[in-house]
Structure 1
């Protein structure tokens, strides 16, 4: 990981936690879908923010996403729609999805899901198979569950 010297002073511990999560998880492989890659890094970042005294800010952002962005969710934010369909809300939407998975299934199951997806091909058939294997749920059902 390289930090641009011009941005060095802006690189706080939350951003570093996010980027170090990417660095650590990249060793698993490159097949994980964008929503999981970014959502996992955002999950780590937001957990650190809560532990650092920003719990109200995190709660406010979660509430905003749940009332504004999540109701518009129609598909998981994969590469083709990550910045297009959801624009800058993609990171937050991905975080909410990962947070839902941790809450419902636990971190160990999420980690196993990540490992299998990272090692495979980021295609719809593989994503469906791996989701069903680990969570007994389809992508469409996951979207519906997050929206509840």
Structure 2
């Protein structure tokens, strides 16, 4: 277990792609609908706020952990709404924001990126961009 004894919130993306549930739309494989990413990140930030209240989590830190599409959504939410989701562990994530900038202040965030150097779906160039952007904003 990642955090024994800690509460777990496991939401599911509401976008359907064939029979798969996803967090956001894509134009094609590897081509994100960035407007949808931004909108869905706001929805996830709102869901986290609602869960914080509903489950009496107070000011406990919420850590997102995701793989692939889930990692991209967690990362987008941390980059755009750092107060809602200040920490993310992302497995096989890409830069999710296209040409958009992250929030102005990411100084309180913690982002862990775990990508393989031969992962064609999540190339290291995306990891490098995420690192550059996070460092530039915090």
TM-score class normalised by the smaller sequence: 0.3 to 0.5
| TM-score, reference length from structure 1 | 0.31
Higher relative contact order (CA 8 A, sep 6+): 1
Which has more radius of gyration? 1
Greater per-residue helix proportion: 1
| TM-score, reference length from structure 2 | 0.32
